[in-house]
Chain A
Amino acid sequence: MNSDKKELILAFETSCDETSVAVVENGEQILSNVIATQINSHKRFGGVVPEVASRHHIEQITLCLQDALSEAAVTYSDLDAVAVTYGPGLVGALLVGVAAAKAVAFAHDLPLIPVNHMAGHIYAARFVAPLEFPALALLVSGGHTELVYLPEPNRYEIVGETRDDAAGEAFDKVGRVLGLTYPAGKEIDELAHKGRDSFDFPRAMLQEDNYDFSFSGLKSAFINTVHHAQQVGQKLEKCDLAASFQQSVVDVLVTKTVRALHAFPVKQLILAGGVAANQGLRRALENELTHFNEVQLIKAPLFLCGDNAAMIGAAGYVAWKNDVSAGLDLNAEPSLEFPWVKGAVK
């Protein structure tokens, strides 16, 4: 085998409200990563409306494909495989990417690689450094909050996950209560930076002997605090509210991650997902990791924390090299999940 061979993957991602197509070389270099975001559209409704998202994807899909190929300066004959997110996500949104990827794979007789969206998020970190195994990943996004153990390439096992809301979901709900525009994560992060953790919101499930998370109690405590203040005509400091909320989320995430690092000795800790862009979380993990000399912290680059197809291309490359492929009957799997780590009780 020629080790200099450049293998190009065309990747599609349409699981939520971003239409993205990318060309990735050898699973490690981004030649193009075109992202069309629907944030403005869903801002109208205060959150993602699935039918609206599906309609936008179909408007955008071949436009993104065209731009991805031209920005990478490649043509179909240069491609080696097509990768696509087939779950988890919104079913109508996933279907557009899956149909488009299958059409391209069929038209040009290319192998089709099904990619789990969460594996994609993990592999956003691949563009920072090669992954070394075993590794642990903390995935935090609007739809998911989970700790994933990677014993070897292309194996993903859930160690713990949220029992109710995803962390990103809690950010959006709290943002709404604070009167911020959707999505509120970035603004809360900025407000938190100026405030103090003075409200002492609950840190859920810290005492429990597992690696699971819960954010609904925090969300309720936050809403109750704000509503009570409104009723008695008391004005609360927005920055302090944001700081207290964020600190509670960060404490829970970091404490459980550290506990998992003790139970699963790994070479790398990967931080990924939309909420991984949160500065408070990034700093807190950096601080904690100074106690783990042998663990390397890899944070997904900010511009790859949100949904994008480059990360699908990177994860797809590893899947492909591990003989994963799909037929033309590939379907969307909106509830796709990694298996649980051996011995874990769900």
Chain B
Amino acid sequence: MKILAIDTSNQPLSIALLEDERLLATTTTNYSKNHSATLMPQIASLMARVGLKPVDIDRIAVAQGPGSYTGLRIGVTTAKTLAFTLDKELVGVSSLAVLAKAVHCEGVVIVPLFDARRENVFAGIYQEKDGKLITLQSDQHVALNELCAELKKYQQVIFVGKDTKKFNAKISDMLMKQNVIFASSELNYPQAYVIGLLALRKCPVEIQNFVPNYLRLTQAEVQWKKKNNGSSFDEPLVEKI
């Protein structure tokens, strides 16, 4: 099976082409956040380099979130539309699981995280068992304090992701210093090859319903819910006219 894997969930842009578990080509750039302009040309050139045409791809895998809303939308729209228009399979992979998977440390608790501003993070709690990535706690938008409180029960935790650097001191403060390991920097950037590997084991999704996992409602919706005591809106939000 030939897989095109894409990650635009944060500043790094990573694309990979796989034939089953074999890597055919990959590219990762981390110099701009202009994924809208760079994603499609990089997919086209990577495919041309290995002599693949769009129809040759069997499955498209994409980092579905969490991450930058705009970044996610560019990756997900591209992946979703490619899969739909080519009538190929589509698989979404957690953009945090991608970082956890690359750590490869059997039995130890792995916590990938992204900065979500104001002392909040997007984070998941993972563990590798018999070479398989297990989710101990699904990806969530959480206060760093709360996350650390949750992690106190574990003997040893590996933090991964480039944003861990700015929380380094706080994390070491809140958890027992000797229990915390910060993954080395080569693991801090997502590799689309890993997305492809994770996608191999997942079932394809229904393309039309596929959207990013933002893990947060918009500010406007939060306020609207508050004002309306959590009641829902009667009319369909979007209508064909």
For the complex, is A2 an interface residue (Cβ under 8 Å from B)?
A: no
> With the chains together, A54 CA to B74 CA distance in Å?
11
Give the shortest distance, in Å, between B99 (CB) and chain A (any CB).
24
Docked-complex contact A65 and B73, CB < 8 angstroms? no
Known: A45-B220, A58-B212, A98-B36. A40 touches B73 (CB 8 A): no
**Interface assignment of A204: CB less than 8 Å from any CB of chain B:** no
A102 and B73 form a contact (CB under 8 A): no
Q: Does A133 contact B (CB under 8 A)?
A: no
Closest B residue to A99 by CB, please name it.
B77
- Tell me, yes or no, whether B81 is within 8 Å of chain A by CB: yes
Contact B236 A40 (CB under 8 A): yes
User: Which A residues fall within an 8 A CB radius of B?
Assistant: 19, 34-41, 44-45, 49, 51-52, 54-56, 58-63, 65-67, 76, 91-92, 95-96, 98-100, 102-104, 106-108, 327-332
Decide if B73 touches A103 in the complex (CB within 8 Å).
Answer: no
Interface residue B224 (Cβ < 8 Å from any Cβ of A): yes
If over half of A's interface residues share one DSSP class (helix, strand or loop), that class is named, otherwise mixed; here it is: helix
Q: Does B76 contact A (CB under 8 A)?
A: yes
- Give complex CA distance A76, B85 in Å: 8
Would you list the 3 A-B pairs with minimal beta carbon distance, nearest first?
A: A103-B81, A41-B237, A99-B77
Q: Which residues of B contact A330 (CB under 8 A)?
A: 37
Interface residues of B (CB under 8 A from A): 34, 36-41, 43-44, 54, 69-70, 73-74, 76-78, 80-82, 84-86, 207-208, 211-212, 214, 218-221, 224, 233, 235-241
Asked whether A41 lies within 8 Å of B238 as measured between CB atoms, the reply is: yes
On whether A63 and B212 interact (CB within 8 A), knowing A37-B238, A55-B218, the answer reads no
**Minimum CB distance partner of B236 in chain A:** A40
Q: Which of B44, B78, B212, B239 contacts A36 (CB 8 A)?
A: B239
Least CB distance, A13 to chain B, in whole angstroms: 13
Separation of A100 and B37 alpha carbons in the complex (Å):
13
Contacts of A329 in B (CB 8 A): 37-38, 40-41
B220 touches A52 (CB 8 A): yes
Q: How far is the CB of B224 from chain A (nearest CB, A)?
A: 5
**Which residues of chain B have C-beta atoms less than 8 A from A328's C-beta?**
40-41, 44
A327 and B44 CA atoms in complex are apart in Å by 11
Q: Are B37 and A62 in contact (CB under 8 A)?
A: no
Cross-chain contact B211 with A102 (CB below 8 angstroms): no
Chain A residues with CB under 8 Å of B233's CB are 40-41, 44
A335 to B64 alpha-carbon distance, docked (Å)? 29
Residue of A nearest to B76 (CB): A58
Task: Tell me, in angstroms, the Cα distance from A44 to B86 when the chains sit together.
Answer: 37
B80 contacts A51, C-beta separation under 8 Å: no
Q: How far is the CA of A45 from the CA of B219 in the complex (A)?
A: 11
Say whether B81 contacts A327, CB under 8 Å: no
Q: How far is the CA of A332 from the CA of B41 in the complex (A)?
A: 15
Q: A55-B218, A103-B82 are in contact. Are A63 and B208 (CB under 8 A)?
A: yes
Chain A residues with Cβ below 8 Å from B74 are 95, 99
Contact (Cβ within 8 A) A104 B81 = yes
Nearest chain B residue, comparing its CB with the CB of A62: B84
Whole-angstrom CA separation of A96 from B54 in the bound complex: 20
Pick from A19, A45, A58: contact of B211, CB below 8 A. A58
> Do B237 and A38 touch across chains, with their CB atoms under 8 A apart?
yes
Q: Are A65 and B34 in contact (CB under 8 A)?
A: no
**Cβ contact within 8 Å between B41 and A327:** yes
Asked if residues B40 and A36 are in contact (CB atoms below 8 Å), the reply is no
Q: Which of A34, A40, A106 is B237 in contact with, Cβ under 8 Å?
A: A40
- Bound Cα distance A35, B38 (Å): 29
